[in-house]
Amino acid sequence: MPRQELTVLDGHDHSSFATQSCAGCRFNCASLVSRAQKGHGDTFAEVLHRRVSRRGLLKAGVVLSAAALSPALSLDRPGTAEAGELNRPAFWTVNGPVTQGVGLTFQAIRPDTSDTIALAEGYTSQVVILWGDPLFPGVPALDLNAQTAALQERQFGFNADFVLYTPLPLGSGNQSDGLLWVNHEYTDGLMMFPGYDTKNPTKEQVDIELAAHGASIVQIRKNGGPEWAADVTSSFNRRITATTPMTLTGPAAGDEWLKTSADTTGTRVVGMLNNCGGGWTPWGTVLTAEENFNQYFANADGLSAEDPRSKTHARYGMPRAASERLWEKHYDRFDIGKEPNEPFRFGWIVEVDPYDPSSAPVKRTALGRTKHEAATTVVASNGKLVVYLGDDERFDYVYKYVSTAAVTMTDRSANKNLLDEGTLYVAKYDDDGTGQWIPLVFGQGPLTAANGWRNQADVLIRTRQAADAVGATKMDRPEDIEVNPVTGVVYAVMTNNTQRGTDGRPAVDRANPRANNAYGHIIEMMEGAGNHAATTFTWGIFLIAGKPEDESTYFAGFAKDQVSAFAAPDNIAFDSRGNLWIATDGQPSALKWNDGILAVAVDGPQRGQVKQLMSGVSGCEVASLYLTADDATLFASIQHPGEGGSLAQPTSTWPNGLARPGIIAISRIGGGRIGA
């Protein structure tokens, strides 16, 4: 994308960055770069506009306001009546009765712009692990002047994202000794190497960056005190990188489009790239989501325009010429002109068993190929596994996968094929607050040979185009999707979309969440009959983010003078009481203060009262968060501190004089539940 086109992207104002430092943000913002026109599905704004207009709520010249979104109306709750009292279906509390008054008692903090972690009164934080920290005995600490790929493969990786804690042993409920899983989404040479030349990265530097991608698994424990410490002697510790051997399984495995000169079987892949969000299976494996993989590839124009692969590469944003990273100078696999099928081997959900360090990661093709953000699992009422998936790009879609067979809770090995045999669906949000899950199955609807589809492998490799074809609803960058453990209600995060309503892009009006949606919103969804495997659902708006004084904001009907402003919701989590926790990515641009963590009750008298618990450091994104089962520890990823700077010209020195991404643990002073 030409430099002049980068002035305004969702959540980041690139115009303030020096030319040399813009690359770091561009790696992070790859999901915002729309290189190809999207499909022809309805826009969410169009659906919501028609839905509200039909009720006579919208008058000519009236903007969306608090009055137009009062709690008595169905936008407040999915599945409610057209007006009047809330009409909760009997299955609203699918996992038991909702506890009223499960409010959040901490005093919200004010927004912050400092280079320190700010917390609500009564809370404290500690650094658990940072980029370059050793994971194995005998490995030295990070030395910027003595980095090698071999060392980085044995040190904690760069740019921490999805974080998860799981107890040792599996299923024990141990909340003081367990495994920490962390994704390493992407690297930034300017923040890693002294004197880094963005126009000429060396092979040694590229190798180190490949090693800094992927994920880390490290055993951590409290050792009798409140603070966590890593155990570098643990046999569970592991690094997974962009060069780790992996297998492809499911319907697309072995397809012609997955074969390369290095892998003529189409079943073996080298590494995973740009792992952002993730999830956890009931049998104790991690699902890690490959997101903005397009940024690693180059020279899509090396294919002829008549080659059917060209349109697919364009739909996924493959650079037509050189990549930003220029890794193709050292490795042919990143050059589409030389290896046109290599990009098809990325953009998948990867399953990893953290309890078996010898196991190979598996890319599960049945879950589709997109810029995956989430991979949240729930066992449906009929016993089948359901996985909710977001495709994090403007005007892309919300998906879910439903397994063919049921989960076996007593035998881990019996579930090994559940993520290979099932149906992938895409969401269509209808005007009346109902919705449909449309199957993406070869031979059904428009996905036929007569329309140019080869087989089910083709449908999954070209998931976005399949969703375009069936008329799914275009969304404002679907990121995390989580299921409330108390109510079973599904919450889907739309981070932002400043292209909404601009020239040549899908139009909006004043009744949608908003045109030029720089702040984002969160949707509630209830599956039909309380069954997460259902093919119908009801939906409504829970939150529309921004400053409370902005008429277009909405906080589930809660008084706006009593809420914390926030923007760009990214990843979310629930505590054991069903309160929603929100991590943000984009507040420095949208609201001119640091990203952070906020919490909000989804039921009871405090429903919609957003309260900020934590503020991050300069330039960082709070990329992920995870609460332990006892709610005593809130792990959070501090990603790209000092973004927009460099080692020579730092904009952050967190945590100890050198900007280093990593994981912090937040707890209450003296112990107790977070938020209570």
- Asked if 447 and 486 sit in the same domain, the reply is yes
- Asked if 196 and 335 sit in the same domain, the reply is no
pLDDT digits (tens, 9 = 90+) for 567-622: 999 999 999 999 999 999 999 999 999 999 999 999 999 999 999 999 999 999 99
* Residues ≥6 apart with Cβ < 8 Å to 207: 149
| Bigger pLDDT: 6 vs 506 | 506
pLDDT digits (tens, 9 = 90+) for 320-347: 999 999 999 999 999 999 999 999 999 9
542 phi/psi in degrees, rounded to 5? -95, -55
- Asked if 207 and 94 sit in the same domain, the reply is yes
- Asked if 481 and 602 sit in the same domain, the reply is yes
Instruction: Return the residue matching tokens 């990661």.
Output: 361
* Within-domain flag for 676: no
* Within-domain flag for 673: no
Mean pLDDT of the region 403-427: 97
- Asked if 273 and 305 sit in the same domain, the reply is no
Nearest to 537 by CA among 570, 571, 488, 575: 488
pLDDT digits (tens, 9 = 90+) for 241-270: 999 999 999 999 999 999 999 999 999 999
- Asked if 490 and 609 sit in the same domain, the reply is yes
- Asked if 34 and 133 sit in the same domain, the reply is yes
Nearest to 237 by CA among 138, 131, 127, 155: 155
Q: Structural domain tally of the chain?
A: 2
Domain assignment of residue 305, given as a range: 294-346
Residue type, 338: K
* Residues ≥6 apart with Cβ < 8 Å to 224: none
- Report which secondary-structure segment, H or E, holds 459: helix 456-461
Contact between residue 189 and residue 647 where contact means Cβ atoms under 8 Å apart: no
> How would DSSP label each residue in 141-208?
PP-TTS--HHHHTTB--SSEEEEEEEESSTTS--SSEEEEEEEE----GGGTSTT--TTS--HHHHHH
Q: Mean pLDDT lowest for which of 240-249, 267-276, 431-440?
A: 431-440
What confidence score (pLDDT) does residue 404 get?
98
- Asked if 500 and 529 sit in the same domain, the reply is yes
Single pTM value for the model: 0.90
* Within-domain flag for 675: no
pLDDT digits (tens, 9 = 90+) for 288-308: 999 999 999 999 999 999 999
- Asked if 390 and 513 sit in the same domain, the reply is yes
Residues in the chain: 676
Residue 509 pLDDT > 50: no
- Report which secondary-structure segment, H or E, holds 464: helix 463-470
- Asked if 304 and 264 sit in the same domain, the reply is no
pLDDT digits (tens, 9 = 90+) for 419-432: 999 999 999 988 78
What confidence score (pLDDT) does residue 500 get?
81
C-alpha pair distances (Å), 391 with each of 14, 160, 343, 439, 477: 23, 20, 17, 16, 7
> What letter does residue 365 receive in the DSSP assignment?
G
- Asked if 509 and 570 sit in the same domain, the reply is yes
Nearest to 130 by CA among 155, 167, 149: 155
* Within-domain flag for 63: yes
Domain boundary, last residue among 314, 329, 346? 346
